Structure 1
Amino acid sequence: MSQAPVSHASQAEEAARDYAAWQQAVAAVLAKARKVDVAELPADPEHLLDTTTYDGVTVTPLYTRRVESAEAPLPGVFPFVRGRDAHRDVNRGWLVSAAFGAGEGDPKKVNEAILDGLENGVSAVWLGVGGDGLSADALGEALDGVLLDLAPLTLDAGADVAAAAERLYALIDERAAAGDGVTDRSAIAVALGAAPLTDRFAGADTGVDLAGAVALAGAAAARPETVRAITVDGTAFHNAGASDAEELGASVAAGLEYVRALVDSGIAISKALGQIEFRLAATDDQFQTIAKFRAGRRLWARVAQVCGAPESGGAPQHAVTSAAMMAQRDPWVNMLRTTLATFGAGVGGADSVTVLPFDAAVPAGTLDTSVSFAARIARNTQLLLLEESNLGRVLDPGAGSWYVEDLTEQVAAKAWEFVQQIEAAGGYAAALDSGLVAERVAATRTRRDADIAHRRTAVTGVNEFPNLAEAPLSDAPAPLAGVARYGAAFEALRDRSDRFLAERGHRPKVLLAALGPVAEHNGRTTFAANLLASGGIEAVNPGTLDLATVAGIVRESETTIAVLCGTDKRYGTDGVPAVDALRAAGIETVLLAGSEKTFADARGADRPDGFLTARIDAVSALTGLLDTLGAK
């Protein structure tokens, strides 16, 4: 016997009842946690669990059909949210890109590294040229045996981009004349990497100005190969501290500036759009990364639409795992960060992905590992996700997720607002000159730094769960100079501790004065030890404090600072006597692991000198402790 179809109205009513029941459950849990009556909570208590990103995007705890939006067109179709290529090989997925040539001037060694990478899973080459590395004249030897129709090439030539482009063109023509070329030269994909506008923001020596980039693009458009001359390098903004929407907004504004210049030079709009690719950072915030790449395509498609060529709005996206998230301390955790970043970029539809080696931020000689090992781990991070997890077999797997779709739209909207602000200031160049972009990015960096300093944002191995026993860093220059790395402030404190260790044979120390049995003080001694270690300070924990032997304990600890650790109830009974005993034994600074309210009635010397809680500015507090302990 067939059942009558369920009406849409009854489905909506049932969904509304389910949501209301969930709201009641949320209210009950929140009321218990906050020790208030349910009636004191707002009508929509779930919004107390909302979080807000640096872009002002609200992330709610639950996504349902209530935020459902219209389904976006398929990949390869305007506005390209779901991907720019409808025919991407699902057996290949995104291109596995790897960087070669940086700091290596021997073209034979570069060539060996490239061929080894291609034989072991690399499918796109990012080649550094110029500086203290490979010369433009050595391109032929470095690319010997590299089939450019199978492995797309991106140049990172900086000031030598014009010379590198000329030599590359000559090489391709020489191969074609010798019969070593390909029948369809359009299958050769090359990105010259000229990036004067974003390089200008980063303060880099571009070697080519906007006019020079336009000239390169004009020559590239006339080539039979598929050549894109200009790269909008959004990582320049990200590395300075930009949020996701700020990185996208500034990048789109820079791209628009290029398009205007190209069109003014006489290049047709469709060809002008075809000369631009984007390079964006992928972070370990996987959903933000997924949304960023999807939103980036929507934004650029909108630019192309306004310019009258919507079908040309699918610019390639090259994802590079974030340099800012890379830590010097406990750098092995960087493998996890780059895995999440690669996942986000791949699911978000990036055309190619470059994974930075896990030791990218570590001075040379610090770790007992080889360059080839780090490169292999970076490469295999992508191969595992592609070959074992099969992430590349589905185009836009995030499509239809209420959370991903809503986040994409919100990030795109915030980024477009920034584009409009830059345009209102006179365009990208004018916004750079006025300081608009730099000030906006700096403000976000300041907010992020404050969150990390207060440990509201965790950087594992740096401000949370640090390994104080790891070897000191090498004295070699630290890589990634100029990048606003998230854990830099804490790592600077660890550097001070390393110097102290080298000079005195031990690290700066603080005594943990534990009150009551282990079950009482363990939570706060663990908290205090973790906090101190994040600043390079060793926590000396002799166990439960015995006031009769406190003088000997202080003497053996070799420190003048102590942190009192126990329960609030224990502080009420034993706190003041413990503070007095510690001071009498020679402790000059007594801190309390806990709130100031527990010593509200204490006065003068009976009162601790400071209070360590989860809400303090840890960088400031630890800096003061290192100053007191004599760490330079």
Structure 2
Amino acid sequence: MADKKEKLFSDFSPVSTEQWMEKVTADLKGADYEKKLVWKTNEGFKVKPFYRMEDIEGLATLNALPGEYPYLRGTRKNNNWLIRQEIRVTDPKEANAKALDLLNKGVDSLGFSINAKELSAEYIATLLEGVHAPAIELNFSTCQGHVVKLAELLVAYFDKKDYDVKELRGSINFDYYNKMLTKGKEKGDVVQIAKALLEAIQPLPYYRVLNVNALTLNNAGAYISQELGYALAWGNEYMQQLTEIGIPAGLIAKRIKFNFGVSSNYFMEIAKFRAARMLWANVVASYKPESLSDCENRGPNGECRCAGRMQVHAETSSYNLTLFDAHVNLLRTQTEAMSAALGGVNSMTVTPFDKTYQTPDEFSERMARNQQLLLKEESHFDKVVDPAAGSYYIENLTVSIAKQAWEIFLKVQEEGGFYAALKAGSVQKEINETGKNRHKAVAQRKEILLGTNQYPNFTEAANGKTPVGSTCCCGGNDNCEKDVQTLNFDRASSEFEALRLETEASGKRPKAFMLTIGNLAMRQARAQFACNFLACAGYEVVDNLGFPTVEEGVEAAMKAKADIVVLCSSDDEYAEYAVPAFKALNGRAMFIVAGAPANMDELKAAGIENFINVRSNVLETLKSYNAQLLK
């Protein structure tokens, strides 16, 4: 028997798509297939409940190979991404000590945020003392008006250290357009600054200095296709403006770095990175970049194809991080990190879980660092290149996202390019409208934030934690004068957090008592729903096993000093229980019916005003309750 080779599936006959559909249709029992099982994404395309081999037949993406043009499956033949950690430099000596410590803990990419006023040769030497630059990636950000000086200082420092410049990898985060999106300000001439920066950094061939910070769009709540479409237009703006003044296209493309965010939409994020590389390779190819002496990858007409290799840094999103139940942020960032790793990014930063309410401490930074180390050292995500390749689902997602993003890219080009679109405010308007729609979806629980608008921790208190806000270019508030419209960076959970903090600050924690009666299954389900609903505002909730009469339930609620009494039963039984319970309560507490019974109009006519159900706008409902209960 041990030598017998068995074909495990030889006894099973193949099942056609038609047979699958017959079974699905039967199980739906007359329900509409499109409405029940087909998901329409925020991006505007439809996702089927299952995919089969015929769904990928004819897709050009299947012909791609890792490390080969158009780089859909990656810009390299391995998946060894760099683990990056950010350091805000207040003192160069202290930052240096921290950097050296991080390098001993598994980090191989450092990001330094530098105070421009302190820039000097001595400052850079102190900051990088003992750091062997060829062994890691070094990334720097500073005031946009000082990036050229920073480049000159770095070149001088590395020259003095006598490093082989071909071994040095890193970036300077110059992004004129990002300042317009975040601060609403324009300062200087983007073309002249970029030209001077390219000239200054010329001795360091592998330093990327023209940045596309699409992370900004992600943190403002952009849909995936918007983030990608605008990122392509963003990068193309550099290409277009700088080639017009005579800078070679290949040189420009090799200096551009894309910084993307990663949301919790697991499979679509994997597809986004695959689509991004393919589309950018095509954008660069349209400029017919000339082959330089170091080019090893030439197209049929001698053009430089390696210029189209998209350099991608990914950072987990801040948009969906929460202040309450903050350790759930670890789950969010972990799946996001998985998406980025499987999507083949070049480097990654995992956002510490406590970023929403404090400057990340040593513990949260360690956890963020280890999330990536675990993916490498224990899960071996770095050992396989593009494991999503050939997946019926992800291959279709890749094509669908690419199409939607390309449409956005073309629309921006029709407006005159990314800069013109920013000046007109169309990019900001679209992203802010998306953010508004997503906030509404969170308010209605159509978009779930675990621990915030669904399944909150009933006993958690903020205990002084408050959301960390952003400051504008004037350093104080958002009322400073702006040249263009800016993006709104309110996190998805911000309004629920404000509601819950309002409850806590009032010193009055309303008590909600579940008056459970009648049908056992329905009263338990309704009680659980109501408890989760009301706890989102920080209310104390009291569940019960059930009462034989509504009068006994009301009496128990009054004995418990309840501020709210929630009637939990079946829709049919509300005709029997609702009005008697309401009358027995006699205005001594707020009365709520959990559900949307058919006789709701009759109950309203009897004076019952409050109903909570799956169609309720949770946020607006709780705001109105706070207005009544916290007086």
- Which category describes the TM-score, using the shorter chain as reference length? 0.7 to 0.9
Code of the residue aligned with 1:145 in structure 2: it is G
Q: 1:120 to 1:99 in 2, by over 3 A?
A: same
Deviation track 1:556-594 (CA, whole Å, cap 9, x = no partner) reads: 444553221111232132222112112x2623x322100
Aligned to 2:623: 623
Aligned to 1:23: 21
Q: 1:122 to 1:360 in 2, by over 3 A?
A: same
- Matches for 1:195-594 after TM superposition, within 5 Å: 195-203=175-183, 209-220=189-200, 222-309=202-289, 311=305, 312-363=307-358, 371-474=361-464, 478-479=468-469, 483-501=489-507, 504=508, 507-516=509-518, 519-541=521-543, 544-545=546-547, 546-549=549-552, 552-582=555-585, 584=586, 586-587=588-589, 589-594=590-595
Q: Indicate which of 82, 85, 90 corresponds to 2:76.
A: 85
Deviation track 1:136-160 (CA, whole Å, cap 9, x = no partner) reads: 8522212111121111111121334
Aligned to 1:114: 99
Kept in 2: contact 1:96–1:352 (CA 8 A): yes
Q: 1:565 to 1:48 in 2, by over 3 A?
A: closer
Structure 2 distance, partners of 1:401, 1:519, is: 41
Code of the residue aligned with 1:199 in structure 2: it is K
Kept in 2: contact 1:84–1:315 (CA 8 A): yes
Kept in 1: contact 2:208–2:254 (CA 8 A): yes
Point out the more displaced range, 292-301 or 468-477.
468-477
Q: CA deviation at 1:512?
A: 2.4
Point out the more displaced range, 508-517 or 519-528.
508-517
Kept in 2: contact 1:253–1:419 (CA 8 A): yes
Q: CA deviation at 1:548?
A: 4.2
Aligned to 2:38: 50
Name the % identity: 30
Code of the residue aligned with 2:630 in structure 1: it is G
Code of the residue aligned with 2:355 in structure 1: it is A
Aligned to 1:367: none
Kept in 2: contact 1:221–1:275 (CA 8 A): no
Structure 2 distance, partners of 1:196, 1:357, is: 27
Code of the residue aligned with 2:18 in structure 1: it is A
Kept in 2: contact 1:228–1:276 (CA 8 A): yes
Structure 1 gaps, min length 5? 1-10, 32-37, 365-369
Structure 2 distance, partners of 1:132, 1:581, is: 71
Kept in 2: contact 1:590–1:608 (CA 8 A): yes
Paired residue secondary structure (1:22): helix
Aligned to 1:60: 48
Kept in 2: contact 1:213–1:229 (CA 8 A): no
Q: 1:56 to 1:517 in 2, by over 3 A?
A: closer
Q: CA deviation at 1:535?
A: 1.6
Point out the more displaced range, 197-206 or 247-256.
197-206
Aligned to 2:299: none
Q: Normalising to structure 2: TM-score of the pair?
A: 0.87
Aligned to 1:95: 82
Aligned to 1:595: 596
Kept in 1: contact 2:148–2:197 (CA 8 A): no
Q: CA deviation at 1:509?
A: 2.6
Q: CA deviation at 1:131?
A: 6.9
Point out the more displaced range, 189-198 or 63-72.
63-72
Aligned to 1:154: 139
Structure 2 distance, partners of 1:169, 1:63, is: 52
Structure 2 distance, partners of 1:452, 1:199, is: 28
Q: CA deviation at 1:601?
A: 3.7
Structure 1 distance, partners of 2:47, 2:140, is: 38
Point out the more displaced range, 126-135 or 388-397.
126-135
Aligned to 1:3: none
Structure 2 distance, partners of 1:149, 1:518, is: 68
Q: CA deviation at 1:338?
A: 0.8
Structure 2 distance, partners of 1:79, 1:615, is: 46
Structure 2 distance, partners of 1:569, 1:307, is: 68
Code of the residue aligned with 1:449 in structure 2: it is H
Structure 2 distance, partners of 1:282, 1:409, is: 19
Deviation track 1:5-44 (CA, whole Å, cap 9, x = no partner) reads: xxxxxx9xx86x522221122112221xxxxxx4xx56xx
Structure 2 distance, partners of 1:175, 1:208, is: 33
Aligned to 2:7: none
Q: CA deviation at 1:419?
A: 0.7
Kept in 1: contact 2:121–2:157 (CA 8 A): no
Kept in 2: contact 1:595–1:612 (CA 8 A): yes
Structure 2 distance, partners of 1:217, 1:152, is: 19
Kept in 2: contact 1:291–1:404 (CA 8 A): yes
Deviation track 1:514-557 (CA, whole Å, cap 9, x = no partner) reads: 22375541111111010101122222345535544566444444
Q: Normalising to structure 1: TM-score of the pair?
A: 0.87
Structure 2 distance, partners of 1:174, 1:240, is: 42
Structure 2 gaps, min length 5? 1-9, 290-303, 472-487
Point out the more displaced range, 160-169 or 50-59.
160-169
Q: 1:375 to 1:65 in 2, by over 3 A?
A: same
Kept in 2: contact 1:398–1:404 (CA 8 A): yes
Structure 1 distance, partners of 2:114, 2:93, is: 14
Structure 2 distance, partners of 1:550, 1:462, is: 29
Structure 2 distance, partners of 1:233, 1:548, is: 61
Deviation track 1:426-456 (CA, whole Å, cap 9, x = no partner) reads: 1111111222111211221122112111111
Q: 1:173 to 1:293 in 2, by over 3 A?
A: same
Code of the residue aligned with 2:620 in structure 1: it is S
Paired residue secondary structure (2:63): coil
Structure 2 distance, partners of 1:162, 1:556, is: 72
Structure 2 distance, partners of 1:372, 1:602, is: 56
Q: Indicate which of 186, 194, 207 corresponds to 2:166.
A: 186
Code of the residue aligned with 1:492 in structure 2: it is A
Paired residue secondary structure (1:54): coil
Point out the more displaced range, 422-431 or 464-473.
464-473
Q: CA deviation at 1:163?
A: 3.2
Structure 1 distance, partners of 2:120, 2:266, is: 37
Length, aligned pairs only: 584
Kept in 2: contact 1:105–1:132 (CA 8 A): no
Point out the more displaced range, 293-302 or 472-481.
472-481
Code of the residue aligned with 2:311 in structure 1: it is P
Q: 1:77 to 1:286 in 2, by over 3 A?
A: same
Q: 1:201 to 1:135 in 2, by over 3 A?
A: farther
Paired residue secondary structure (2:388): coil
Q: CA deviation at 1:275?
A: 1.2
Code of the residue aligned with 1:232 in structure 2: it is V
Structure 1 distance, partners of 2:96, 2:627, is: 50
Q: CA deviation at 1:331?
A: 0.7
Q: 1:615 to 1:475 in 2, by over 3 A?
A: same
Paired residue secondary structure (1:411): helix
Point out the more displaced range, 616-625 or 475-484.
475-484
